[in-house]
Structure 1
Amino acid sequence: MAFEPPQRLARALGETAPDGDGWLEKLPEAARQAVALGELTVDRVQVPGGRTSLVVLVRRADGTPAVLKLAPPRFRPEAERAALAHWDGLGAVQLLEGPPTAGALLLERLHPDVSVRSLAEAKALLEAAGTVRRLWVEPPAGHTFESVADRTGRQAEAMRASAGARPEVAALVDAALAARAELLAGPPEHRLLHGTFRQSKVLAGERMPWLAVGPDPVVGERAFDLARLVRDRVEDLIASPSGATITRRRVKRLAESLELDQERLRGWTLFRAVESGARALRVGRTRDAELLLEFASWL
């Protein structure tokens, strides 16, 4: 079978490595090797798939459905492996024993086309919040996961560069960086976080109704993890004449339901929205940038 990367993946990888790193060219052979080593049978490549990995629906030697996921090193697949192993299926997709191939994960098969995003908004937020709560556990002893401070520090440097090149976003970048500095000034919270949690990262399963997938794990405070969820369905929020009010209500509701400080959630939501908007600008996704930065201005 030809393991050609979906266009969405190829486009996204081009944004993160514009000069190329050879991973896409090696991907078909890496996928064939992983399938052979794992004694897997391929059903199909998931399309449109994700922006950071190739997802292949497979069956194990005993016929059990599974998912083979291959990601380049810059998206930290070994950190994902470690987090999934630590969660051990509680709130997240189960890691299976798979092929000994770098960057390849074998996972339990969920329903890849059914996420909580398919639910009505209020219900989707409720189910997503209940799922992410299960993931907020103590990280394993001796872990090597990146901290929120370190990850956002790298992002802050890129944001400063964007502000220098585009004065129109400077005020929002300054506000986001000030919020980060204030948030990190307090005593740190050490929880293992999903890192990129949102509605589309929660899929329907058989073992549990909803399970999280696709973590980019990080250790820090829970409000950081919830911030991306606040802006889910941002296109609908921007299109609504009461989008700003809905957003502030969502911050309040999520903070209260998960017993988090509302102002800390608002601060991390601001930082993460501006960071995503500035990054979208850098790679030429102007429309996405406009949506994100307008959303950030409401906070």
Structure 2
Amino acid sequence: MAFEPPRRLVRALGETAPQGDAWLAGLADTARRAVERHGLTVERVQVPGGRGSLVVLVRTAGGVPAVLKLAPPRARPESERAALAHWNGLGAVRLLEDDGPAPEEGVLLLERLHPDVSVRSLAEAKALLEAAGTLRRLWVEPPGGHPFETVAGRTGRQAEAMRAGAADLPEAAPLIDAALAARGELLAEPPEQRLLHGTFRQSKVLAGDRVPWLAVGPDPVVGEHAFDLARLVRDRVEDLIAQPSGASTTRRRVKRLAESLEVDQDRLRGWTLFRAVESGVRAHRVGRKADAELLLEFAGWL
């Protein structure tokens, strides 16, 4: 079978590696080796798929539906593997790897969920409720001597990129300054250190068989709950921007999510501001100007 990467993946990789991508060039060979190694039968490549990995629907040698996921090193797939192993199916998709030879780097064999049915398909209020409930189950103590990046470390790199990109966005300078100031205040006294999903949103929660909803695609990080919840606040940002009441709806969403998950409302607002501005600056840097405008307008409401 030809393992043709979806256009969405090719475009996303092109944003971060405009001069070419060795991983993408070798992707078909990597996929074939993984299929042979695990004795898999390929059904199809999932389209449109994600922005950071190739997802292939397969069946194991025993006929069990599964997913073969292949991701480049910069997507931190080994960190994802460690987090999924630690959660062991609690709130998240389960690894199907056995105790045989060490798995190939960047290749994960996962239980099959329903890839075309995410929480995002539900009405907004119900979607937020189900997503928040799934997220709560992921917030566990990290393992001792864990390999995961911290919120301080990850946002430190992001803050440097934001400062570097500020010159190209002079109109957003007040927002960038506010976001950086908020980060500094939030990191001064973090309330807890838990294993977080890292990139959680409604589309990262898929329908399952053993439980109704399970999270996929973590970029795990260790830090406070509010950081993880912040990305969920801006879900369906296009719909929020299109509403005359978008700003007030956003503020109500912050309040409702903070109360339902027992997170400090001001801390959630602060991390939502930082993450929205960081995403907006990054989108502008890679040429997604429309996305940048949406995100920065949203951030201005906070």
Residue of structure 1 in register with 2:113 after alignment: 110
| Alignment partners' CA distance in 2, 1:136 and 1:215 | 12
- For structure 2, the 5+ residue unaligned runs are none
Residue of structure 1 in register with 2:142 after alignment: 139
Is residue 183 from structure 1 mapped to residue 159 from structure 2 by the alignment?
no
Q: 2:142 is paired with a residue of what secondary structure?
A: coil
Residue of structure 2 in register with 1:32 after alignment: 32
Q: 2:209 is paired with a residue of what secondary structure?
A: coil
Q: 1:68 is paired with a residue of what secondary structure?
A: strand
Deviations 1:101-141 (A, max 9, x none): 21000000000000000000000000000000000000001
Q: 1:208 aligns with which of 211, 220, 232?
A: 211
Q: TM-score, normalised by structure 1?
A: 0.99
Residue of structure 1 in register with 2:7 after alignment: 7
> 1:7 offset after TM fit, Å?
0.3
> 1:233 offset after TM fit, Å?
0.3
Contact 1:37/1:100 (<8 A) preserved: no
Q: Identity of counterpart residues, as a percentage?
A: 81
| Alignment partners' CA distance in 2, 1:197 and 1:15 | 21
Residue of structure 2 in register with 1:81 after alignment: 81
| Alignment partners' CA distance in 2, 1:20 and 1:231 | 32
Tell me whether 188-197 or 264-273 shows the greater mean CA deviation: 188-197
- What is the aligned length? 299
Contact 1:116/1:128 (<8 A) preserved: yes
> 1:187 offset after TM fit, Å?
4.0
> 1:11 offset after TM fit, Å?
0.3
Residue of structure 2 in register with 1:286 after alignment: 289
Q: Which runs of 4+ in 1 moved over 2 A?
A: none
| Alignment partners' CA distance in 1, 2:266 and 2:180 | 15
Q: 2:214 is paired with a residue of what secondary structure?
A: strand
Q: 1:96 is paired with a residue of what secondary structure?
A: coil
| Alignment partners' CA distance in 1, 2:244 and 2:222 | 37
Residue of structure 2 in register with 1:20 after alignment: 20
Contact 2:118/2:204 (<8 A) preserved: yes
| Alignment partners' CA distance in 2, 1:259 and 1:294 | 27
Alignment of 1:85-234 (within 5 A): 85-97=85-97, 100-187=103-190, 189-234=192-237
Amino acid paired to 1:132: L
Residue of structure 1 in register with 2:278 after alignment: 275
| Alignment partners' CA distance in 2, 1:28 and 1:167 | 43
| Alignment partners' CA distance in 2, 1:283 and 1:164 | 15
- For structure 1, the 5+ residue unaligned runs are none
Deviations 1:131-168 (A, max 9, x none): 00000000001101000000000000000011123211
Aligned CA-pair RMSD: 0.9
| Alignment partners' CA distance in 2, 1:165 and 1:44 | 42
Contact 1:96/1:108 (<8 A) preserved: yes
Q: TM-score, normalised by structure 2?
A: 0.98
> 1:18 offset after TM fit, Å?
1.6
| Alignment partners' CA distance in 2, 1:21 and 1:218 | 26
| Alignment partners' CA distance in 2, 1:186 and 1:20 | 42
Amino acid paired to 2:155: T
Contact 2:91/2:134 (<8 A) preserved: yes
Amino acid paired to 1:94: R
Q: 1:237 is paired with a residue of what secondary structure?
A: helix
Deviations 1:81-107 (A, max 9, x none): 000000000000001116822100000
